[in-house]
Structure 1
Amino acid sequence: MALNIRAAAAKCIFAVIDKGRSLSDELPLQISKIDPKDKALLQECCYGVLRVLPELEYEVRSLMDKPLVGKQRVAHFLLLVGLYQLKYMRIPDHACVAETVAACPALKCNHLKGLVNAILRNFLRKKANEDNSTLPDAIKYNHPGWFIKKLQIGYPNDWERILAANQIKPPMWIRVNRQHHNIKEYLALLIEAGINFSNVDDKSGAILLTKAVDVYKLPGFELGHVSIQDGAAQQAAVLLNCQPNDNVLDCCAAPGGKTCHILELTPDIGKMTAIDIEENRLIRVQENLTRLNLTAEVITADAAKQDWWNGEKFDRILLDAPCSGTGVIRRHPDIKWLRKATDIDILTKLQQEILKNCWSLLKPNGTLLYATCSILPEENSQQIQAFINQTADAELIQINQNQSIGWQILSGENNMDGFYYALIKKKNHSS
């Protein structure tokens, strides 16, 4: 028998918030327990609750005398699911309340049915009189306070816009495999298939669809003619600008979108090596290569070490550095609650270590593209400025006329994810 959808959502959010599991790991487990036709509803409940978590937590606190703890804790997350539906979904109020109450037995909290029912009904009564103008920023903007402070310091004119962009459902960008079609040809195929698009990025040729579609409806998807990849991520292969016969390293490569894009744009490079520290994530890299009929040497390796390296230096290195992921919150709202302020110092030290190690693998006159899906200056412009200051043979190549140290794409800018790029050339001192 399929699990009640609200119960599945409560279990999923409980695992993320209290157990520290990622949504992308936990959601598939819960999807496997429900009726397949309810998948979209479960996803909406989980993503939605995580987007507006502080606001919902505030509502629950104001409606209860004491919090649910211990074995009853999972019912707290059921209440969040119920409140999210009442506030943000078009399901009739009576159906939301009834279905949420009906989820109690599946969570082994049958005795709390009356409480869940009363809290949701009380919320409906008080909803009309709500005044949110005096709430703390963390509740008003639905982001952790430490993150809001960092944005206010880093982007005094843009912080509110960034927070608002994080709360919007992400659009669907696609990448055309140039080995099969040029952009113009593929746009014609989209029109023929009745799939609307709203933008084509000038630099990369990334196509923004007007609304998301099933991937198998995209012309030639199963044949490797097109892939799903955000417009910001598609800048990497273009900026790296690989040439025929180049020896190329994609460092921290999983899930392999950028690896494949480089090979699509420059099929006659000498060799592509893709490394990642997590062996299970490299399965995705291999799957992507196989679907697109591309070849790379895929190695499980720690990018901060050289025990995997055969001694041949690289002409081009893409370092997609481990980062806070703060630029992709709209795709992964659990990042807001899994990431802690103390993580940033740890990450910047790891980035320094990997950057230094990768630099030693680069040939003179070679180029390294440093990339993150972060919007925090500590991980991006400040990190690169420090590296340039400390590295005599490093020359920063300007890639954005409005920014002196790399290119920071802010969350939601041109409908893209938040991303950072810096292109660095290794000077040849002998010439």
Structure 2
Amino acid sequence: MNDRELIVKALSCYKPGKTKTEALLNDLLGKCSDKPFVNNFCCGIIRSLPAIDIVIAKLSGAREKKTSPQLWAVLRCGVFDIIYRPRQEIYAAVNEWVKLAGGKKQRGFANAVLRTVIRAIECRSGESPLSSNFLPVSGSLGCIFKQDIFSSPENAPSEYLSQVYSLLEWLVSGWIKKFGLEKTLSVCRASNRKPGLYLRPNKTLTTPEKLLEMLREDGAAAKRIGDIIALEKAGRPVEKLPGYNEGLFCVQDITAFEAGLFVNPSPGQTILDLCSAPGTKSSHLAELMQGAGEVIATDINPARLEKARENKQRLRLENITILEYEKAFEYAANRQIDAVLLDVPCSNSGVLSKRLDMRYRLTPEGIDKLNSQQYDIIKTVLRRLPAVKKLFYSTCSVEKSENYEILHKLLCELDRGEIRRAKLTLPSDVSFGRDGGYIAEFTL
């Protein structure tokens, strides 16, 4: 099979909210020849499925339930190529996908649908105010149709934004209420961007300047953003870059990097990272402590700690102690803990550009369950380590119910303590983009 055939086969089996995208991609990338193309194409389609399906249904009348999975996958691929890859020669792209539709009848149907979509387009990549005939693709650029396709952004803004950005309407509606329309539009754009790739230099072994020079000498297109290296084009997997095996860097988004700076541990302190897997924040804390003191890293899922152990070894950080959950509490109870970091499980609403499955799986009920879990994690720490007075609470969510409201509820119940400082970062698509997240320091 060629790469396009593999893509169609994989997407024929894809069910939003049910299929595990990571497993699907791992299987696909193990078989294909052009891994960057296949990965970017599949991730792009999965991010944009609802918008693509609306275009197909509105312009052709075709419905997924009445179409074979293979044929529907071909239609999705063709429409994605037409709309989301405007630099591609349009008819050549269509012809390549039509060939994969099946028999003569199916090929004829696919050809008719895709050419109908082409005829309905005024401009494949143009600027326009938000309107019911405009599908944003990248920033302010998008596909302009000759007729209305989506709901009215003036009369139904949450419905329109959820359609064109392929996000859940209840989620978008909540953002509009919390952040206003302009900021919500920015969050929607950021949730649909191709995620940036950032490298955090391991300052115990190198400097940002030296790492940047090494990467550029290897042919990578990279730039420095503060102490972080933004990798625009590597030409190879991260694991194959110079310095990876030597532990000179770790992959980490700017927002997650800033969480470590927010904690700002001092050399000689003892920090407990309770939800540490895969160990990225733990390793940053250990680096900031310059090898002195101790980071106790644990996670309730012991299997996930294996990656943390790999990171510790690769980054050569001896001041991290990795223990299974119960043992970590026993170990910490016999030490003076200066602070606890709680990077709790969350909805991932600040990182939807990366967490492709969550954009279709999230429910209000699911967030309620997460709220209970988040609250229980904090209460467990307070019960088992009553001497701890300083805690940091972190999520990659932008939902108030998972952030401020959890801490407010806790402090009201305890009738003591305070939130000393907090930072909410909304995901951004400006320049290289960044994730969203929340971190707060609270004391008891």
Question: TM-score normalized by structure 1?
Answer: 0.83
Distance 2:355 2:169 in 1: 18
Aligned pair 1:96/2:93, yes or no? yes
- Aligned counterpart, 1:403: none
- Aligned counterpart, 2:147: 131
Give the letter for the 2:264 counterpart: N
More displaced, 164-173 or 278-287?
278-287
> Once the two structures are superposed, what CA deviation does each residue of 1:20-74 show, in whole Å capped at 9, x if it has no partner?
133222211111222x3x2122112212112322221111212444524389234
- Aligned counterpart, 1:373: 396
Structure 1 residues 149 and 389: CA distance shift in structure 2, 3 A? same
Distance 1:307 1:179 in 2: 28
Aligned pair 1:120/2:114, yes or no? yes
User: Is the CA contact (8 Å cut-off) linking 1:6 and 1:78 kept in structure 2?
Assistant: no
Which residue of 406, 409, 412 maps to 2:425?
Answer: 409
Which residue of 172, 176, 194 maps to 1:152?
Answer: 176
Q: How does 1:264-275 map to 2 (within 5 A)?
A: 264-275=287-298
- Aligned counterpart, 2:383: 360
| Number of positions where the alignment pairs a residue of Structure 1 with one of Structure 2 | 405
Q: Displacement of 1:331 after TM fit? A: 2.4
Indicate the RMSD between aligned Cα atoms, in angstroms.
2.9
More displaced, 79-88 or 21-30?
21-30
Distance 1:162 1:396 in 2: 26
Which residue of 272, 277, 283 maps to 2:300?
Answer: 277
More displaced, 38-47 or 65-74?
65-74
Distance 2:257 2:281 in 1: 7
Structure 1, unaligned stretches of length 5 or more? 399-405, 427-431
- Aligned counterpart, 1:421: 439
User: Is the CA contact (8 Å cut-off) linking 1:223 and 1:292 kept in structure 2?
Assistant: yes
Secondary structure at the aligned position of 1:371 is classed as strand
Distance 2:299 2:168 in 1: 30
User: Is the CA contact (8 Å cut-off) linking 2:273 and 2:296 kept in structure 1?
Assistant: yes
Secondary structure at the aligned position of 2:6 is classed as helix
Which residue of 163, 183, 187 maps to 2:208?
Answer: 183
User: Is the CA contact (8 Å cut-off) linking 2:246 and 2:315 kept in structure 1?
Assistant: yes
Distance 1:183 1:222 in 2: 17
Distance 2:408 2:10 in 1: 41
Distance 2:285 2:228 in 1: 14
- Runs of 4 or more consecutive aligned structure 1 residues displaced over 6 Å after TM superposition: none
Give the letter for the 1:208 counterpart: A
Aligned pair 1:33/2:26, yes or no? no
Q: How does 1:274-423 map to 2 (within 5 A)?
A: 274-295=297-318, 296-301=320-325, 309-310=329-330, 312-313=332-333, 314-362=337-385, 364=387, 366-398=389-421, 406-412=422-428, 415-423=433-441
Q: Displacement of 1:8 after TM fit? A: 3.0
Question: TM-score normalized by structure 2?
Answer: 0.81
User: Is the CA contact (8 Å cut-off) linking 2:189 and 2:429 kept in structure 1?
Assistant: no
Structure 2, unaligned stretches of length 5 or more? 123-144, 152-158
User: Is the CA contact (8 Å cut-off) linking 2:391 and 2:441 kept in structure 1?
Assistant: yes
Q: Displacement of 1:284 after TM fit? A: 2.0
- Aligned counterpart, 1:401: none
Secondary structure at the aligned position of 1:221 is classed as coil
Which residue of 222, 229, 234 maps to 1:207?
Answer: 229
**Identity across aligned pairs (percent)?**
26
